[in-house]
């Protein structure tokens, strides 16, 4: 498998940053860094499969079947923790009081996810303790 990137793609986000460092015909890999007390958008993909592993910090993860906030489950995920996220599962990442870094390996292609509006899911699930 050949990496289609000649160099990593760095993107700054309001919650932190991501670096896409490999795109092949089989997968896409990125490093995601979430700043303290920040959360990503709640998102769902129709076709994308993801596996993540926490490499630094403690990840606050919310996930559940789309698109009812009552289906969200919350996890505090320490370093070394990993999970597989299937299509149709809404999810968001968050950091407690320290920066979190995760590696995400996903099915190929850069599919645009569907962002779930805040009024449908409530706000502020990140716990700082």
Name the pTM for this structure.
0.85
Residues 94-124: tens digit of each pLDDT: 999 999 999 999 998 666 678 776 544 444 4
Q: What are phi and psi of 59, to 5 degrees?
A: -85, 135
Output the CA–CA distances (angstroms, integers) from residue 32 to 7, 8, 15, 104, in the order listed. Answer: 17, 13, 10, 7
Q: CA-to-CA distance for 97 and 6, rounded, in angstroms?
A: 35
Residues 45-61: tens digit of each pLDDT: 888 999 999 999 999 99
Residues 86-102: tens digit of each pLDDT: 999 999 999 999 999 99
Look at the block and give the residue holding tokens 């309001």. Answer: 14
> What's the first-to-final CA gap in the chain, in angstroms?
43
Name the percent of the chain lying above pLDDT 90: 67
Closest to 44 in 3D by CA, of 103, 87, 74: 87
Average pLDDT, the chain: 86
Query: Domains (ranges, CATH) in the chain?
Result: 33-107 (2.60.120.10)
């Amino acid at each position: 498998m050949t990496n289609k990137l000649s160099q990593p793609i760095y993107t700054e986000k309001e919650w932190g940053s991501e670096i896409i460092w490999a795109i092949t015909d089989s997968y896409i890999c990125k490093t995601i860094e979430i700043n303290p007390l920040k959360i990503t958008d709640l998102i769902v993909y129709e076709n994308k499969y993801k596996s993540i592993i926490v490499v630094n910090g403690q990840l606050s993860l919310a996930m559940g079947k789309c698109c009812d906030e009552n289906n969200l489950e919350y996890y505090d995920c320490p370093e070394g923790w990993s999970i597989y996220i299937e299509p149709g599962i809404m999810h968001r990442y968050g950091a407690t009081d320290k920066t979190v870094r995760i590696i995400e390996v996903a099915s190929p292609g850069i599919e645009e996810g569907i962002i779930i509006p805040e009024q449908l899911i409530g706000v502020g699930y990140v716990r700082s303790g």
